[in-house]
Amino acid sequence: MSTQPRIWDMPGGIHPPQNKAQSTARGLERIPLPKRLILPLLQHIGRRAEPIVQVGERVLKGQLLASSHGQYSCPLHAPTSGTIVAIEDAPYPHASGLTEPAIILDSDGEDRRIELQPVADYRSLDPVDVLDLIQAAGISGLGGAGFPTATKLLSRPDHRISTLIINAAECEPYITSDDMTIRHYPARIVSGIEVLMHILKPDQVLVGIEDNKPEAIAAMRAAAQDTTIQIIAIPTKYPSGGEKQLIQILTGKEVPSGGLPADISVLCQNIGTCLAIHEAILLGRPMINRIVTLTGAALQRPTNVIAPIGTPIHELLAFAGLQPERLHRLVLGGPMMGFTVDSAAPIIKTSNCLLAATREELPPPPPALPCIRCGLCAEACPVELLPQQLHWFAMGKDYAQLQRHDLFDCIECGACAYVCPSSIPLVQYFRAGKAEMRAIEQQHSRAEHSRQRFEHRQERLQREAEQREQERQARAEKAARAKAAREAQAARAQLAEPPTAAPDLARIQSRKVSTLSAEQKQLKVAAATARMALQRVQKQLATNPDNTDMQKQLPELEQAFAEAQQAFEQATTQEAR
Amino acid sequence: MAIILTAVLVLLLLALVFGAVLGYAAVRFRVEGDPIVEQINALLPQTQCGQCGHPGCKPYAEAIANGEPINKCPPGGEATIQALANLLDVEPLPLDGEHGEEKPPTVAYIREAECIGCTKCIQACPVDAILGAARQMHTVIVDECTGCDLCVEPCPVDCIDMLPLPVTTQNWRWNAPQPLAGSFGSQRGVA
């Protein structure tokens, strides 16, 4: 690969002091095994992993601790053997300084690992199965954003990837972790790139390295000699390592606004991710370590270390000889895009650099002066935005104008703020503006969601009320029908059964409901009176059988009753007939 | 005479043709509902809290379309009033204090140990964000709660609190720099 292919230029960009030499002199070191590891469940963009271990459980190095939860998620493995002591909110490397749920692992010092299952012959596997292996190893992008790698490789399955770009530009000052990764593991990186080539089958593979890393370029060229991988040295200019900027430099093509590189059939991966892929597939190791740059003038021996994920930052700083009295600001990431962290937080999969800066290195910014419309920021902007305009709109909270001026294409590289003669913290305005716009957007979708739920509830309540009304009506109708049926039955019974043929009780009942004429009533009363008199005498005779008066009366009364009864019955039967 | 007759006939013909076109358009492009009400409703925060005096956001949207003041929505606050003023091309008014004050968003929280399982809050919730059953403990689905306060009143044991939304790394936001405050925090590059 002696001839260098054509490269293009990107708009804007700045040349801040490199400050990379401090941390490359000592090679790559291993830190002593930390006693306690803090493993946040969120080490990537997306959803938190779900813990699958219990507090008190003993785990081995490389054992799965938390499985991925949904597509935009990444599993988490134990970086060493030990005991799970807690699953709780713990310090987290985030600009907010807030805590995040984490698995706390106390190492037992033995560092016993689970049995590895390397796949030497990955070429015989289906690319989808290789992707599954990458996902299972918990690999998320090591460049900084931390997008789950398997998801990124799948992001646009309908688009063919013609160009695979490996990002080794490492443009931000102070950071040297990619440089040291390449210097120490060029063969492994090439092997990892070949795994990616097996998955994506691109027409060309371009590795972009800034020309301030001659050792890395030489190492990669040597390792990639017998492959189709092209190693391209690009001019040192910040921020050439931005995904879209590197694509533009290497291919001359621009990723459309709001689009993905896959839209122009390009895919970009960080060089550290390639090493992690090699280790995951060919060595069977999940992602449990990463290379971190420890630098800054407050450290006595700035260096690069291989550190287990979850190592607390203060242990790393102690290893590099921190002089606490000189420390002014502790930054995770580089001086341009990094953020201040607390040293209690751990490093995670995306942490590439720790900058322990003195006051001289990162002095507090001078007070901002009014914008003088010099336009230097627009010249420096790598995405050709108009920061001076965005600044006004952000101050006035004019979100419609911010949208129109493509604020969301801003990569927050900080080039505009770096060149600003008025020291206006432009990036902070833009970050706040973006956050506010996202919050408004979120509020709107929430409101829409609530509206739907409210309407569905109203519909349901109405439906239930209607159903109750229907049921009530149905019951009323049923009751009315039953009443009508009863009446009809009673009428039928009276018609169908002649009183003479009926047994006494039924006859009496039917008589009760039937209407008697005045004469019949009289006869009935007479019969009843006669019966009562007869019964009284019969009763008295039963208690006092010697009463002769009564004995005489009995036949007369019997006669009277029989006559009255007969007269009444005759009257009613005539009526019925 | 013939000319006048021709003119009348031509005009009649034109009237018939355009009448037919208009009649067809009225059927073909019929607009369901009142679109301005939908547009107003889309700007309201949909908490369904009833602080405006209407039983939900849609009724208030209808009332605004019929000329009610736009400043009766405390959950929406100034932002909603501004948006409504832009939409309806009227002067933005300050929030009407009679209907409540603009508060930071909250969510309902049921102290579960004290809940007696009466289901009264479930019936009050306009967005079905409370889960529970008779004589069973109830709980709030935080992601669905609009913070409307409507469940607080019916609770017979007062076990519902309105808590501010906790700030997590997921919803934390960068603050805008304070203009002319001297120190601008952290976001400037290397010196």
CB contact under 8 A, A450 and B173: no
Q: How far apart are the C-alpha atoms of A508 and A497, rounded to whole Å?
A: 13
Question: What are the beta bridge partners of residue B175?
Answer: none
Chain A positions touching B60 (Cβ under 8 A) are none
Query: In DSSP terms, which residues pair with A232 in a beta bridge?
Result: A208
Confidence of residue A576 (pLDDT cuts 50, 70, 90): low
pLDDT at B182 over 50: no
Report the Cα A159 to chain-centroid distance in Å: 26
Cβ pair A195, A273 in contact under 8 A: no
Q: Which residue in this structure is represented by tokens 């709001």?
A: A258
Distance of CA A529 to the CA centre of its chain: 94
Look up residue A289 and give its DSSP letter: E
Amino acid B100: pLDDT: 83
Mean per-residue pLDDT of chain A: 90
Distances (CA, A) of B177 to A231, A411, A426, A427: 42, 19, 9, 10
Asked if pLDDT for residue B185 goes beyond 80, the answer is no
Residue A515's pLDDT band, with cuts at 50, 70 and 90, is low
**Is 60 exceeded by the pLDDT of residue B60?**
yes
Q: CA B146 → CA B109, B171, B173, distances in Å?
A: 12, 16, 20
Q: Find the radius of gyration of the CA atoms of chain B.
A: 27
pLDDT > 70? residue A509 = no
CB-facing half-sphere around the CA of A243: CA atoms within 13 A:
24
| B89, part of any domain | yes
Residues contacting residue A161 through CB under 8 Å, at least 6 positions apart: A200, A201, A202, A262, A265, A266, A267
Closest CA to A223 of A152, A274, A170, A269: A274
Q: Which residues of A touch B128 (CB under 8 A)?
A: 453, 456-457
B125 and B156 housed in the same domain: yes
Kind and range of the H or E run holding B119: none
User: What's the rounded mean pLDDT across residues A26-55?
Assistant: 93
> What is the per-residue pLDDT for B188?
43
Residue bearing tokens 């918990």: A138
Per-residue pLDDT band for A479 (boundaries 50, 70, 90) equals very high
User: Mind telling me how many Å the CA of A243 is from chain B's nearest CA?
Assistant: 20
What does the pLDDT average to over B17-33? Answer: 89
pLDDT higher at A44 or B170: A44
CA separation for the pair A315, A344 (Å, rounded): 9
Instruction: Please indicate, yes or no, if residue B122 is contained in any of the structural domains.
Output: yes
Q: Average of pLDDT values for B129-145?
A: 92
- Interface ipTM: 0.77
pLDDT tens digits along A285-306: 999 999 999 999 999 999 999 9
Residues B88 and B46 in one domain: yes
Pairing of strands A163-168, A204-210: parallel
User: Which pLDDT value is given to residue B180?
Assistant: 53
Of A96, A335, A368, the CB nearest to B172: A96
Nearest CB partner across the interface for B173, out of A100, A436, A457:
A436
B138 and B118, same structural domain? yes
Query: For position A500, what pLDDT does the model report?
Result: 53
- pLDDT tens, A416-428? 999 999 999 999 9
For the ranges A12-16, B90-94, B104-108, the maximum mean pLDDT occurs at: A12-16
- From B76, B99, B122, the end of a domain falls on B99
Q: Name the band, by pLDDT with cuts 50, 70 and 90, for residue A506.
A: low
Is there a contact between B74 and B100 (Cβ–Cβ < 8 Å)?
yes
Predicted confidence (pLDDT) per residue in A56-71, tens digit: 999 999 999 999 988 8
Asked if B132 reaches chain A (Cβ–Cβ under 8 Å), the answer is no
Q: Provide CB contacts within 8 A for A520, sequence distance 6+.
A: A568, A571, A572, A575
Q: What span, in angstroms and rounded, lies between the C-alpha atoms of A346 and A391?
A: 34
CATH number for the domain spanning B54: value is: 1.10.15.40
Q: What is the pLDDT of residue B184?
A: 43
Question: Per mean pLDDT, which range of A513-522, B5-14, B43-52, B79-88 is the poorest?
Answer: A513-522
Q: Residue B127's closest chain A neighbor by CA?
A: A454
CB neighbourhood size of A295 (10 A): 30
Chain B partners within 8 Å of A367 (Cβ): 180, 182-184
Nearest CB to A335 within list B126, B173, B190: B190
Cβ atoms A357, A328 nearer than 8 A: yes
Of A95, A363, A447, the CB nearest to B45: A447
Is the pLDDT at A137 greater than 90? The verdict is yes
Question: B104 and chain A: CB distance < 8 Å anywhere?
Answer: no
- What residues does A299 pair with on adjacent strands? A322
**% of chain A beyond a pLDDT of 70:** 95
The arithmetic mean of pLDDT across residues A547-565, rounded, is: 81
Q: Is B182 on the interface with A (CB under 8 A)?
A: yes
Q: What local confidence, expressed as pLDDT, does residue A390 receive?
A: 95
Domain annotation covers residue B14? no
Does A574 or A465 have the greater pLDDT score?
Answer: A465
Q: Scanning every residue of chain A, which has its alpha carbon at the shortest distance from the alpha carbon of B147?
A: A450
| Cβ contacts of A363 on chain B, cutoff 8 Å | 191
Looking at A544-558, B24-38, B68-82, B147-161, which range is the least confident one?
A: A544-558
Which residue carries 């459309």 as its tokens? A256
* pLDDT higher than threshold 70 for residue A116: yes
Between A537 and A329, name the one with better pLDDT. A329
pLDDT of the residue at A536: 84
Across A53-67, A158-172, A276-290, least confident range: A158-172
Q: In terms of DSSP H, where are the helices of A375-515?
A: 376-380, 387-395, 399-404, 415-419, 426-496, 504-513
Rg (CA), chain A: 46
B183 in contact with A at a CB cutoff of 8 Å? Answer: yes
- Give the residue from B107, B133, B111 showing the smallest Cα distance to B120: B133
Where residue A575 falls among pLDDT bands split at 50, 70, 90?
Answer: low
The most confident of A193-207, B46-60, B166-180, by mean pLDDT: A193-207
Q: How far is B118 from chain A (nearest CA, A)?
A: 19
Q: Taking residues A35-41, report their average pLDDT.
A: 95
Confidence of residue A512 (pLDDT cuts 50, 70, 90): low
Nearest residue of chain A to residue B174 (CA atoms): A432
On whether residue B125 sits in a domain, the answer given is yes
Task: From chain B, pick out residues whose CB is under 8 angstroms from the CB of A429.
Answer: 176-177
The dihedral of CA A55, A59, A61, A66: what is its sign? negative
Of residues A552, A14, A548, the one with CA closest to residue A239:
A14
What is the overall mean pLDDT for chain B?
86
Other Cβ atoms less than 10 A from the Cβ of B141: the count is 14
Domains in chain B, number: 2
B44, B128, B187 member nearest A428 (Cβ): B187
Q: Count of CB atoms within 10 A of residue A502's CB?
A: 15
Contact call for B188 and A329, based on CB within 8 A: no
Rounded Cα–Cα distance for residues A243 and A252 (Å):
13
Secondary structure (3-state) at A142: coil
Chain B residues in contact with A457 by the CB 8 A cut-off are 126-128
What is the pLDDT at residue B183? 41
Residue B121 counted as domain residue: yes
CATH code of B121's domain: 3.30.70.20
Residue predicted with more confidence, B62 or B183: B62
> Residues of B with CB below 8 A from A364's CB?
183
Q: Would you say how long chain A is, in residues?
A: 577
Cα–Cα separations (whole angstroms), residue B118 to A241, B108, B123, B150, B163: 60, 17, 10, 15, 22
B28 found inside a domain: no
pLDDT at A508 exceeding the cut of 60? no
Whether omega for the bond prior to residue A5 falls within 30 degrees of 0, making it cis, is no
Detail the DSSP E strand segments found in chain B: 106-110, 130-131, 139-140, 160-164
Q: What pLDDT is recorded for position A503?
A: 57
Instruction: Give tens-digit pLDDT for A310-343.
Output: 999 999 999 999 999 999 999 999 999 999 999 9
Residues pairing with A268 in the sheet: A165
Q: Which residue did the predictor score with more confidence, B181 or A44?
A: A44
Q: Is the pLDDT of residue A210 over 90?
A: yes
Domain extent listing, chain A: 21-357, 376-437, 516-576
Give yes or no: residues B164 and B121 share one domain.
yes
B84 and B122 in a single domain? The answer is: no
**Confidence at A280, pLDDT banded by 50, 70, 90:** very high
Give tens-digit pLDDT for A122-134: 999 998 899 999 9
Strand order in the sheet with A50-51: A50-51, A64-67, A76-77
Q: Is the pLDDT of residue B139 over 60?
A: yes
When CB atoms are compared, the residue of A363, A414, A432 closest to B175 is A432
User: What residue numbers bound the domain in which B76 lies?
Assistant: 35-99
**Domain assignment of residue B15, yes or no:** no
User: What does the alpha-carbon distance between residue B164 and residue B146 come to, in Å, rounded to a whole number?
Assistant: 12
CATH tag, A21-357: 3.40.50.11540
CB of B66 within 8 Å of a chain A CB? The answer is no
Q: State the pLDDT at residue B32.
A: 74
Residue B129 lies in a domain: yes
